[in-house]
A and B are shown apart, each in its own frame.
Chain A
Amino acid sequence: MTQILFKDINKKDLHTLAVYEETGGYKSLKKAFAKEPDEIIEMVKASGLRGRGGAGFPCGLKWSFLAKDVFPRYLCCNADESEPGTCKDRELLLKNPHLLIEGMILCSYACRIETGYIYLRGEFYDLCEIMEKALEEAYAKGYLGKNILGSGFDLDIHTHLGAGAYICGEESALLNSLEGMRGEPRMKPPFPAVQGLYAKPTVINNVETLCVVPYIVNEGAEKYAAIGTEKSKGTKLVSVSGHVKKPANYEVVLGTPVREIIYDMAGGMRDDNQLKAFIPGGSSVPMLRADQVDTPYDYESLQAAGSMLGSGALIVLDHTVNVVETSLRLVSFYMHESCGKCTPCREGTRWMWQILHQIQTGKGEAAHVEELLDICDNMSFKCFCPLGDAAVAPVASSIQNFRADYEELLQRMTANTV
């Protein structure tokens, strides 16, 4: 079992600097400082590491896009973790805050950044306190601040708490929120690498992505690239939730079949029920059917199967579920979290909710399913930011894969009225 991020995760007091150092923590800094910043970027590129926040964008490549010779530059760590089903960053922050700090130092050195922010969702107040303590320890030990370990490199890292808004996980909305504005997404381009925080070049990475970087610097890009599949390198933290016996975060080598994750790692289905469907990458990706359970868990295979790896949240549904209820719950979420900036998303989520609610409560009409598909069609790729597309995913995929569930509710309703 290859464990990179979770190697020592349950070690007692890992969150303290002393124990973290015992496990080899902060060793990568000296190695990094002996190299040129650009060499670190090349290493991360060569490792094949892709963003773990949802979009899967190649990490080293993102770093190399920073506007040349424009300073200051900023690093924003995305610790907003609000995608339904996803709770891996929380475990990392709770149990291993120094790993993130180490990753942020490496990224900042590579990208010549001198200020970093950790944007935590507002509900992570407890994690923010843990993070603050860890930062204090790192400053006291000289891993942060001026002239870190005599390298001449300076770095400050600060925490910043959000206040309850899923959309602030979207990188440009996160920047607006951090600047003290409403968390509405920005027009792209310009991309954050060119004009991000305070209109300066900015790197935005997910917690998990940054936590991988110390391993790459310590062990070498080749070693990381040797793990996983040809295009999906390394391991991924997968939050397995729903109807399994042992819901938890598992560190999975990319390319592992979904079946293995559900039945071996997570102990199989609750009450040995039958698997009906699974959502492989958080609420924003299409759900798949039980017969697709042998799909390898990696970016390409999940895409070929009609879904996405997303944030790495595997939500498992057994045969007792009618997916109309699942769609309703998720659409209700997107309606609540739509920032309201663009019409297709603001109105479309509400229309979908109204129809699904009618179907669910026995007031559905035969034409409703086609109406839903029509709304999906009018939202897909027509919204200002990806939240609109995300809202379509559960509805379109549940109709495509489980239309019978909709029909069952509609028929039950007709039977009742006759």
Chain B
Amino acid sequence: MFAFSEQAEKEIEKILNKYPEKHKQSALLPLLTLTQRQEGHVSPDAMREIARRLDVSPAYVQSVASFYTMYTLGDTPVGKYTILFCINISCQLNGCDELLDYTAKKLNIQVGETTADKKFTLRREECLAACTGGPMMRVNDTYHENITPARIDQILDSLK
């Protein structure tokens, strides 16, 4: 069964206060985000719970959630660290493709997969707005710019 944590409940109170009472549906993305961060995925069960709180149907929650790329729908959580690798133009001009290959080899997975120990999920991502610091990757909420193989080693090896 899915349940929001105590901390999340406090957050939800704050979130609902941001929008006019009759437009609480505005809290849909924020609640999905809370769920994704708490669980590492958004399960059908969680979507039902969000639907209940916002007075919309579970199918509606799913139709919205599936539009956005930052939610992992289903029952399988992402790894403890999600590595988003920008592959768009500015990073490409500065060699991100080779670095992405390097990282996939290092973690011994394909792009899009999660390591067996559930530590890392590696994803290709579109422009993350750090173009002047390309190539770059985002590990959970942290931006790492001007990365090199040595920097990647250093960053990933330092994560426990």
Contacts and interface: CB of A to CB of B under 8 A. Distances in A.
A4 interface: no
B149 to A, nearest CB: 19
A164 B70 contact: yes
Interface string B118-160: 0000000011111111100010011100000000000000000
B29 A163 contact: yes
A48 interface: no
Contact of A122 (B18, B25, B33, B132): B33
Nearest to B25: A180
Contacts of A243: 93
Given A87-B130, A247-B132, A329 B70 contact: no
Contacts of A183: 67-68
Given A84-B90, A163-B29, A329-B89, A122 B131 contact: no
Given A85-B89, A181-B64, A315-B89, A248 B29 contact: no
A44 B71 CA distance: 40
Contact of B132 (A161, A198, A240, A337): A240
Nearest to A243: B93
Given A122-B33, A164-B69, A183-B68, A83 B26 contact: no
25 contacts: A81-B129, A87-B130, A90-B129, A117-B18, A122-B70, A123-B129, A160-B18, A161-B29, A161-B33, A163-B29, A163-B70, A166-B126, A179-B25, A180-B29, A181-B25, A183-B67, A184-B67, A241-B90, A241-B131, A242-B90, A247-B133, A315-B131, A325-B92, A326-B89, A333-B89
Given A84-B88, A315-B90, A121 B129 contact: yes
Contacts of B28: 180
Contacts of A202: none
B63 interface: yes
B49 to A, nearest CB: 15
Contact of A90 (B25, B63, B130): B130
Contacts of A28: none
Nearest to B84: A123
Contacts of B29: 122, 160-163, 177, 180
B30 interface: yes
Nearest to B71: A163
Interface in B48-96: 54, 56, 63-64, 67-71, 84, 87-90, 92-94
A181 to B, nearest CB: 6
Nearest to B90: A241
A180 B64 contact: yes
A87 B68 contact: no
Given A87-B131, A182-B64, A183-B67, 19 more contacts: A84-B126, A84-B127, A87-B129, A87-B133, A122-B33, A123-B128, A123-B129, A124-B129, A126-B142, A158-B18, A160-B18, A162-B29, A163-B29, A163-B68, A166-B126, A180-B28, A240-B132, A241-B134, A315-B131
B32 interface: yes
A163 B134 contact: no
B10 interface: no
A163 B25 contact: no
Nearest to B31: A180
Contacts of A90: 129-130
A89 interface: yes
A141 interface: no
A198 B23 contact: yes
A82 B134 contact: no
B27 interface: yes
A84 B131 contact: yes
A164 to B, nearest CB: 4
A283 interface: yes
A330 interface: yes
Contacts of B54: 180
Contacts of B18: 117, 158, 160
A121 B69 CA distance: 11
A320 to B, nearest CB: 9
Given A179-B23, A180-B54, A242-B90, A333 B69 contact: no
Contacts of B128: 123
Contacts of B92: 325, 329
A333 B88 contact: yes
A180 B27 contact: yes
Nearest to B69: A164
Contacts of A242: 89-90, 93-94
